Structure 1
Amino acid sequence: MDNDRRFSQLGGEENAQIDDDGRPKRKGTLVTASAHIITSVIGSGVLSLPWAIAQLGWIIGPVALILFALITLFASTLLADCYRSPDPITGRRNYIYMDVVKANLGGRNIQLSGIAQYINLIGFTVGYTITTSFSMAAIKRSYCFHRHGHSVGCHTSNNPFMITFGIIQIFISQIPNFHELSVLSLITTTVCFLHASIGLGLSIAKVIGGPHVQTSLIGAPIGEDMSRMDKIWSTFTALGNLAFAYAFSDVLIEIQDTLRSGPPENKVMKQASFTGISISTLFYILCGLVGYAALGNNAPGNLLAGFGFFEPFWLIDVANLCVIIHLVGAYQICCQPVFAFIESRSRQKWPNARLINKEYQINLPNNGHFRFTHFKIIWRTIYVILATLLAMSLPFFNDFVGLLGAASFWPLTVYFPIKMHIARKNIPKPSLRWFWMQTISAICLITSLAATIGSVGSIIKSLQTVKFFRSMS
């Protein structure tokens, strides 16, 4: 009798506390899954959209934004069906992206998917550290601008803010696992709507009452401030920024694994993906297009921390505070799968090591308790420290965001979901369905390569002038 049947036959109190795989009962719902997705998606990506639209223009920008949304939604529905295998409703659960690839493809695909996923998740935590420090610095600078005038530079080092954010994450990273993030995601989803709405409101106010700014059908023009090569780099980087704006496939399976049994998990996850992507796209279109209309071809790389707006300074501070709170949660959405992977592999390799396996418990008020191991505390602390140090050495917001988006979009959002769908459905190679799905994958590959080249080129250019560990806002 297999594992699923054995646990399905258990009765009474024991059965009420466990799922069909013997793990603690999952409690996730459509609302919490949608919140996880929105927390992952509407992060630092929304802040760079006016800049990205400014590089692409009124035609390519909105079209690219909608196409990225449609492709992500399509691929996420394919990936949601892979959570259980071989049957998407009654099959055995796959807990992480690598498990899904192992069950459906096998071979080297397992290692390749794992490398792509975890490198990108680590990259996201670095990117969120950079973004948060910019918002923290923006709060300090906005007060300085308000007090001394907009002509004063009010420059400040980002490093103390990165360190502060890192210290906060060291404590929050002790949350046991991904399943405990529902409340945090709901909070961060609320504040992400707030900061996006403030950015949108400021943009609308500037469009209505501010001076006319220059915009273009093809984006920022080639001229004295932008060479032809700079235009190519910035265009490709902008595509990477748009791809990054929809990056949640890295954690889709982990989110789906939080859903409670009842309605089939794949159906709930598809609904959550549609809800999350639809809401995110609406905000993206509004913030990106209205932000471009307000700020023009000179839109800053960061809508709120780049000071396209100076007043009312207190409202800008509130928006940046919301960004900070939001990215605290988004950081955890990305790093918890990394924590779980390393800790699981460590327990398997050293099952008798007390440092790794000896569990301690601290009783909390209201009959709660906190379980931990020494290894978990040490390893998670070291991870946050290293991510913070890397962020301090590579403070390139748009270039780094573009690189992350380019690196993750094709393999994790498009290639593996399509390849697994073809394998699961036994779609023959010469068929029309096989051809158009492979065409979508090929187009996305070319786009990702172009965005990667653009972001790397921009980073190389930035490295010529940057002083390591001396990032300034």
Structure 2
Amino acid sequence: MDFEGGRNFSSDSKYDDDGHVKRTGTWVTASAHIVTAVIGSGVLSLAWAVAQLGWIAGPIVLALFSLITLLTSFMLTDCYRYPDPVHGTRNYRYMAMVQNVLGGIQYQFCALAQYLNLFGVGIGYTITASISMVAIKRSNCFHKHGHEAKCHTANYPFMILYALLEILLSQIPDFHELSGLSILAAVMSFGYASIGVGLSIAKIAERGQHLPTSLTGTIVGVDVTGQQKLWNSFQAMGNIAFAYAFSIVMVEIQDTLKSSPPENQSMKKATISGITITTFFYMLCGLLGYAAFGNQAPGNFLTGFGFYEPYWLVDIGNVFIVIHLIGAYQVFSQPIYMLVEGWSAKRWPENKFMTKEYHVGIPMIGTYRLNAFRVIWRTLYVILTSGLAILLPFFNSIVGLLGAISFWPLTVYFPTEMYLVQAKVPRFSIIWIGVKLLSGFCLIVTLFAAAGSIEGIISDLKTYEPFS
């Protein structure tokens, strides 16, 4: 019989046998978390990405990275319990998994890549959500005053509004209680992706003349210069690759699953479901968007005004994007919340400010677990990410660089290396060589994408005016 802090875990139905909150998640809720994490507002920029690559390379790259993500996710799933994937000890966090399986300096490298990227994602989501809020106001302005009207609106007030919403939602204690928010966010992602697909089909059907597309995408000398074609192709490959990257929260998602059936089985089922759904929508939005706009496809055809009418439908699409990003921000912030709160509780275990929880009854919702440190720390974290988003509104280029840097280690390198250790794959065997070649290929793609992101940052700095 196990005791910790006076609590009997073997008889307390609220807790697992290791003392952690009892997990109730299923492959359905895990699928919702995955779709929420993977399908972001970037799905509507895939038309631009396909326009840079063309009809041949565009679909191939989309399919290729969906398969790579599926494969490496399966490898990561089997490492949730170590050394045995079914009966081994649980790894509650990605970093803990790397530490237990690989150890040493690789653990520190993983921590740097994971949390730097999670922090950057929070800033990027704040910027992207504000852009969609601004797009709603501009859409109504264009409808009222004409498409040539100057309907400029500052992003900053909307970033503050988004931050206030995130401060409120950040008080949801942990991942186990985010299922409802994730399911809502997943529904929203289907909504705005479907709106983008529907508007693309309508534009293709009503168009009087054919907009140019090609097998190789944008044409050098006509649409872009040779240098622009190169950088844009790098960025497009990077955008597609990173659009599938959810490994930074995958372990945390798997840790919500019930232990029966085995977590790796449920998580593989959820991963197949989530990535299949994601790839289907990516293909629809990317290919139909390219067919609708040709080589002049905008970066995001709901916020970049590829569509002006019906304005109310464009507004609904952007409302869906905002709601989705509100939920996705919490999904990606939870690992950071848990890291700081877990460390603080271990550092000061007797400090009631850090550890004591007050149960507050909320009508129609239930009992809320209030902790003073959690309220203050999470509020300050949201203020920090929002403040940086306001100071550096072009920060999505920097977030792209952070994503480029973290894609290879977090989505490919660590999962493949841990798989080789977990499965005890012999060195220089066919499987070992194949896994190493996959990792090397993805490293090259990451370097290309990082180069494209750096070029984008340089371009942004040339026209950057603080607080404009």
Normalising by structure 2, we get a TM-score of 0.95
Q: 1:450 to 1:282 in 2, by over 3 A?
A: same
Report the counterpart of residue 427 of structure 2 in structure 1: 429
Displacement of 1:327? 0.7
Which aligned pairs between 1:191-270 and structure 2 lie closer than 5 A? 191-210=188-207, 211-223=209-221, 226-270=224-268
For residues 42-441 of structure 1, the aligned pairs below 5 Å read 42-210=39-207, 211-223=209-221, 226-365=224-363, 368-396=366-394, 399-400=397-398, 402-441=400-439
Cα displacement string for residues 180-220 of structure 1 (whole angstroms, at most 9, x for unaligned residues): 10011111111110110000000011111124212222222
Match of 1:29 among 26, 31, 42: 26
Q: Distance in 1 between matches of 2:21 and 2:425?
A: 37
User: How far has the Cα of 1:442 moved from its partner?
Assistant: 0.2
Unaligned runs of 5+ in 2: none
SS at match of 1:371: strand
Structure 2 counterpart of 1:10: 10
Cα shift at 1:397:
7.6
CA distance, structure 2, for counterparts of residue 309 and residue 37 of structure 1: 29
- In angstroms, what is the RMSD of aligned CA positions? 2.0
Shift of 1:290: 0.3
One-letter amino acid matched to 2:290: Y
1:318 to 1:9, Cα distance in 2 relative to 1, 3 A: closer
Output the amino acid matched with 1:201. G
Per-residue Cα deviation, 1:305-333 (whole angstroms, up to 9, x for no partner) = 01000000000000100111111110100
CA shift digits 1:50-85 (9 cap, x unpaired): 111111111111111111100000000000001111
Q: Deviations over 1:158-182 (max 9, x none)?
A: 1111111111101111110111100
| Bigger mean CA offset, 448-457 vs 217-226 | 217-226
SS of equivalent residue, structure 1 residue 17: coil
Quote the Cα distance in structure 1 between the aligned partners of 2:304 and 2:310: 15
Distance 1:272 1:342, change over 3 A: same
Please tell me the residue identity of whatever aligns with 1:10. S
Task: Kindly indicate whether the alpha-carbon contact (under 8 Å) linking 1:83 and 1:93 is maintained by their aligned counterparts in 2.
Answer: yes
**Matches of 2:129 and 2:374 in 1, distance apart?**
25
* Stretches of structure 1 lacking an aligned partner (at least 5 in a row): none
**The residue matched to 1:19 in structure 2 has which SS?**
coil
Residue pair 2:127, 2:396 contacting (<8 A) in 1 also: no
State the AA in 2 paired with 1:382: L
- Aligned position for 1:453: 451
**Which residue of structure 2 aligns with residue 41 of structure 1?**
38
C-alpha spacing 1:17/1:351, structure 2 compared with 1 (3 Å): closer
In structure 2, distance between residues paired with 1:361 and 1:162: 31
Partner-residue secondary structure (3-state), 2:359:
strand
Structure 1 residues 241, 396: CA separation in 2 closer, same or farther (over 3 Å shift)?
Answer: farther
Q: 1:385 to 1:326 in 2, by over 3 A?
A: same
**In the alignment, is the contact (CA less than 8 A) between 2:9 and 2:18 conserved in 1?**
no
Contact 1:85–1:91 (CA under 8 A) maintained in structure 2: yes
SS state at 1:447 partner: helix
C-alpha change, 1:262 and 1:32, in structure 2 (3 Å) is: same
Go from structure 1 to structure 2 and tell me whether the alpha carbon gap of 1:354 and 1:399 turns closer, same or farther (over 3 Å shift). Answer: same
Contact 2:81 2:88 in 1 (8 A): yes
SS in 2 for 1:48: helix
| Structure 2: distance between partners of 1:158 and 1:122 | 20
Cα drift, residue 365 of structure 1: 2.6
User: What's the offset of the Cα at 1:18?
Assistant: 2.4
Q: Matches of 2:181 and 2:409 in 1, distance apart? A: 29
Whole-angstrom CA distance in 2 between matches of 1:64 and 1:394: 31
Amino acid at match of 2:29: T
Q: Using the TM superposition, give the Cα deviation of residue 20 of structure 1 relative to its aligned residue in structure 2, in angstroms.
A: 2.9
SS of residue in 2 equivalent to 1:362: strand
The C-alpha deviation readout for 1:283-312, integer Å capped at 9, x for no partner, is 000000100111111211112101000000
| Structure 1 range deviating more: 376-385 or 328-337 | 376-385
Number of residues of Structure 1 aligned to a counterpart in Structure 2: 465
